[in-house]
């Protein structure tokens, strides 16, 4: 858990982002989106659909357009309130790219090479895009552009957040205090939901299995089927032990995050019970959690023009912060003003 300014702290400006790639899943919801929604009453929140990040690997243009609009619909359906928060599309605010360049000249090759996400995604290949390598610098620009102090993310983003802090501190040291140094806000429960078929891996639409991933808009019958066929083990005991029982432990973590009950309480509840009963309960609570989101999504999806209007409004509000911030950065660096 982050220290001051971390999970649960008040007043800091909040920023977070999500990629418009693949079907968004219950890991995204429990690790991030749910906390974005909860943060709205206490903080000034800015949430971003990071379309620029998603082209670090090849994507089909029509699919990207569709996925961006569909993710916005999903986020509004999940409870992001355009009256309280700013939700916008990253590419609508070009200052993200401009600031990324300035930060590129602050970050080092060595620190980017250490990023485990890059190592995983590149698989050691040199033929990947420069953008994939540079991905964390654009991510740093996203947050520093708004001087956000708090970044609610899942566990897989921890290293990117540490790099972002290092970049901010280095820039501030070189040019004088410019950026708020952000803190990761990683929830104590639900920050790493695992794949139901390969429970040593995180749930992911790009790196995980289809059968082991619970998409947020998935039909309840399919959700039920996937949970009932989750990998477990043969000793029959419902006990949390990630090393010896990764499958059962993954299901316990999932249910704990969904129901807001601790794992020891769940272990006590299921003492002497079988995996079948346990899985039935997990499925019922997942389906119940997602039902309102799915219903709201169906309503909003009927009016894409309204979603686009909300996104335009979001971008206008984001620009009000981003434009003067980039001007301040340019001045600090010493660029001759254009006028």
Query: Per rule CB under 6 A, is residue 198 in the interface with ligand TYM?
Result: no
Q: Which is nearer to ligand TYM, 164 or 266 (CB)?
A: 164
Q: Which is nearer to ligand TYM, 144 or 287 (CB)?
A: 144
Q: Which is nearer to ligand TYM, 256 or 303 (CB)?
A: 256
Q: Please say whether the beta carbons of 276 and 224 come within 8 A.
A: no
Among 192, 245, 279, 297, binds ligand TYM (CB under 6 A): 192
Q: Which candidate, 54, 162, 150, 149, places its Cα nearest to that of 116? A: 162
Q: Please say whether the beta carbons of 96 and 138 come within 8 A.
A: yes
Tokens 């956000």 sit on residue? 148
How many chain residues bind ligand TYM (CB under 6 A)? 26
Query: Per rule CB under 6 A, is residue 93 in the interface with ligand TYM?
Result: no
The span from the CA of 320 to the CA of 335, in Å, is 21
Among 2, 5, 14, 17, binds ligand TYM (CB under 6 A): 17
| Residue ranges in 145-174 that form contacts with ligand TYM under rule CB under 6 A | 151, 153-154, 156-157
Query: Per rule CB under 6 A, is residue 96 in the interface with ligand TYM?
Result: no
Q: Which residues contact 208 (CB under 8 A, 6 or more apart)?
A: 195, 197, 198, 201, 202
Q: Which is nearer to ligand TYM, 203 or 283 (CB)?
A: 203
Q: Please say whether the beta carbons of 156 and 118 come within 8 A.
A: no
Q: Please say whether the beta carbons of 17 and 50 come within 8 A.
A: yes
The span from the CA of 330 to the CA of 337, in Å, is 8
Joined together, the tokens standing for residue 71 give 């993710």
Query: Per rule CB under 6 A, is residue 50 in the interface with ligand TYM?
Result: yes
| Residue ranges in 73-92 that form contacts with ligand TYM under rule CB under 6 A | none
Which residues here bind ligand TYM, judged by CB under 6 A? Answer: 15-19, 27-28, 30-32, 50, 53, 139, 142-143, 151, 153-154, 156-157, 191-193, 202-204
């Amino acid at each position: 858990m982050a220290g001051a300014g971390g999970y649960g702290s008040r007043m800091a400006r909040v920023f977070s982002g999500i990629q418009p790639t693949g079907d968004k899943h219950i890991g995204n919801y429990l690790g991030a989106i749910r906390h974005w929604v909860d943060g709205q009453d206490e903080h000034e929140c800015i949430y971003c659909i990071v379309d620029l990040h998603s082209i670090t690997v090849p994507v089909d243009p029509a699919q990207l357009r569709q996925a961006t609009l569909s993710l916005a619909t999903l986020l509004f359906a999940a409870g992001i309130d355009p009256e309280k928060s700013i939700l916008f599309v990253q590419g609508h605010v070009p200052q993200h790219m401009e600031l990324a360049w300035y930060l590129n000249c602050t970050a080092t090759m060595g620190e980017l090479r250490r990023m485990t996400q890059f190592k995983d995604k590149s698989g050691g290949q040199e033929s990947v895009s420069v953008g994939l390598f540079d991905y964390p610098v654009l991510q740093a620009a996203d947050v520093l552009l708004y001087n956000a102090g708090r970044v609610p993310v899942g566990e897989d983003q921890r290293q990117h957040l540490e790099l972002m802090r290092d970049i901010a501190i280095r820039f501030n040291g070189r040019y004088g205090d410019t950026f708020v140094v952000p803190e990761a806000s990683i929830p104590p429960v639900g920050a790493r939901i695992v794949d139901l078929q390969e429970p040593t891996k995180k749930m992911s639409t790009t790196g995980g299995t289809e059968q082991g991933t619970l998409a947020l808009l998935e039909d309840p019958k399919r959700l039920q089927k996937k949970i009932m066929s989750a990998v477990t083990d043969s000793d029959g005991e419902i006990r949390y032990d990630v090393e010896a029982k990764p499958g059962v432990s993954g299901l316990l973590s999932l249910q704990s995050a969904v129901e807001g009950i601790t794992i020891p309480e769940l272990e006590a509840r299921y003492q002497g019970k079988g995996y079948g009963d346990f899985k039935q309960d997990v499925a019922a609570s997942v389906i119940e959690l997602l039902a309102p989101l799915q219903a709201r999504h169906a309503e909003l999806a009927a009016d894409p023009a309204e979603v686009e209007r909300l996104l335009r409004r979001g971008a206008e509000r984001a620009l009000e912060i981003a434009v003067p911030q980039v001007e301040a950065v340019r001045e600090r660096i010493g660029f001759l003003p254009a006028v």
